[in-house]
């Protein structure tokens, strides 16, 4: 049996003993649960498509392999290489956004997908690692140059390459493309994560009403200008028979406390049972107890991220971990609230659980980056 001892002097040995194996283990547990769900819920979804039961798990295997390589590989990087990888993700994401504008491919009313050589991906997903790392780098750099007050300092708002204007210009440009697609879920997710990172960096609490007011105004604009969003909003509390919301709620009800197991049948007709409504399919298979166990596992991951952010020494690491916790937690909330019919459907995956190759690989990259930053911050002080 292979045994790694602390006395060995190698990069692998250092990585093994310095990495947060607890956080890594929790992520791998989520991956396993996602793979199991891909078989149980995916078999029903595949049957509706006239495909064999293993259709989705077979289709997801390349993404699982690539994602795990990215997770372990990124966790071995240093901070400088993580920064460079974030630049690459930024370039790929912006290229993808440009493709959605010049060659839009509309899927379910949204042109948020870019297609290159028959391969489709969402630029909004590819941009997430870049957004977290580069925003954390930017906030840390601003503090180094302008001191503790980077929000009310007039120098920080002057027309310089390192000031608020270049950053906000790029952010606003990407947000405008999300709005045009429309990709409203990711638009609000990015804005919320940005403000979480800014508050951690010292954004004045007295401006919080302005932030909420701005979010409310944006929501009103979206409802007034996007017909399909307005239609969904007007019928948000109507649970008509044979709709997605009706199937989702009944799937959860049918699961009961311990799950339906082989008697599960609602998920057989549940739309998007491997993606948007994967939590409903899990509820029918595993019941309320299984769903609570999954939620506790997700909360343990969030707790790990927050604890590392609290005890980190490097401000950039603090901001990056806070942003990752906000992104991870926010996406979980969006997905679960969709399944419970508390918000309109936004087509957002449940991290590591839902079917979606690019989304899975993206979160593997993000968590690999965070494991790397945690390791370097803890051991290379």
Tens-place pLDDT, residues 303-360: 999 999 999 999 999 999 999 999 999 999 988 888 887 777 667 888 998 877 788 9
Task: Write out the H or E segment, with its range, that includes residue 307.
Answer: helix 278-311
Rounded Cα distance, 72 and 77, in Å:
9
pLDDT tens digit sequence for 1-16: 445 555 556 777 888 8
Rounded Cα distance, 7 and 5, in Å:
5
Chain mean pLDDT for the chain: 84
pLDDT tens digit sequence for 248-263: 777 777 777 887 766 6
Cβ neighbours of residue 17 closer than 8 Å, sequence gap 6 or more: 4, 6
| pTM of the predicted model as reported, rounded to 2 decimal places | 0.90
Rounded Cα distance, 150 and 136, in Å:
13
pLDDT tens digit sequence for 132-174: 999 999 999 999 998 888 988 888 888 888 889 999 999 999 9
Q: Of 282, 291, 274, 277, whose CA–CA distance to 243 is shortest? A: 277
Rounded Cα distance, 107 and 94, in Å:
20
Contact 105, 111 (CB under 8 A): yes
For the ranges 85-99, 104-118, 239-253, the one whose mean pLDDT is highest = 85-99
Contact 344, 236 (CB under 8 A): yes
Contact 359, 64 (CB under 8 A): no
pLDDT band at 267 (very low <50, low <70, confident <90, very high): low
């Amino acid at each position: 049996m292979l045994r790694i001892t602390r006395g060995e002097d190698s990069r692998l040995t250092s990585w093994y003993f310095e990495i947060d194996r607890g956080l890594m283990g929790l992520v791998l547990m989520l991956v396993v649960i996602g793979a199991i769900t891909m078989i149980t819920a995916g078999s029903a979804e595949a049957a509706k498509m006239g495909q064999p039961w293993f259709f989705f798990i077979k289709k997801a295997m390349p993404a699982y392999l690539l994602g795990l390589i990215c997770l372990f590989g990124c966790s071995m990087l240093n901070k400088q290489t993580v920064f460079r990888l974030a630049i690459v993700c930024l370039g790929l994401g912006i290229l993808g956004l440009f493709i959605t504008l010049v060659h839009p491919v509309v899927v379910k009313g949204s042109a948020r997908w870019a297609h290159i050589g028959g391969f489709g991906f969402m630029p909004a997903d590819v941009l997430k690692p870049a957004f977290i790392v580069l925003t954390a780098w930017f906030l840390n750099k601003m503090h180094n140059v302008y001191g503790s007050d980077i929000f009310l300092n007039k120098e920080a708002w002057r027309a310089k390459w390192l000031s608020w204007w270049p950053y906000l210009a790029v952010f606003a440009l990407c947000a405008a493309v999300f709005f045009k697609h429309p990709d409203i879920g990711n638009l609000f997710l990015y804005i919320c994560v940005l403000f979480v990172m800014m508050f951690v960096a010292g954004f004045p609490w007295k401006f919080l009403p302005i932030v909420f007011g701005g979010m409310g105004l944006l929501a009103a604009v979206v409802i007034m200008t996007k017909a399909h969003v307005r239609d969904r909003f007007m019928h948000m509390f109507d649970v008509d028979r044979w709709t997605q919301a009706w199937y989702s709620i009944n799937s959860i009800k049918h699961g009961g406390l311990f799950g339906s197991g082989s008697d599960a049948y609602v998920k057989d007709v549940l739309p998007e049972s491997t993606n948007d409504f994967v939590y409903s399919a899990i509820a029918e298979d595993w019941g309320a107890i299984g769903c609570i166990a999954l939620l506790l596992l997700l909360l343990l991951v969030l707790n790990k991220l927050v604890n590392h952010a609290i005890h980190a020494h490097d401000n950039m690491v603090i901001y990056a971990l806070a942003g990752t916790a906000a992104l991870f937690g926010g996406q979980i909330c969006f997905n679960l609230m969709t399944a419970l019919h508390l918000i309109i459907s936004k087509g957002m995956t449940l991290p590591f659980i839902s079917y979606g190759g690019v989304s899975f690989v993206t979160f593997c990259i993000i968590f690999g980056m965070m494991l790397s930053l945690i390791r370097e911050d803890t051991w290379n002080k």
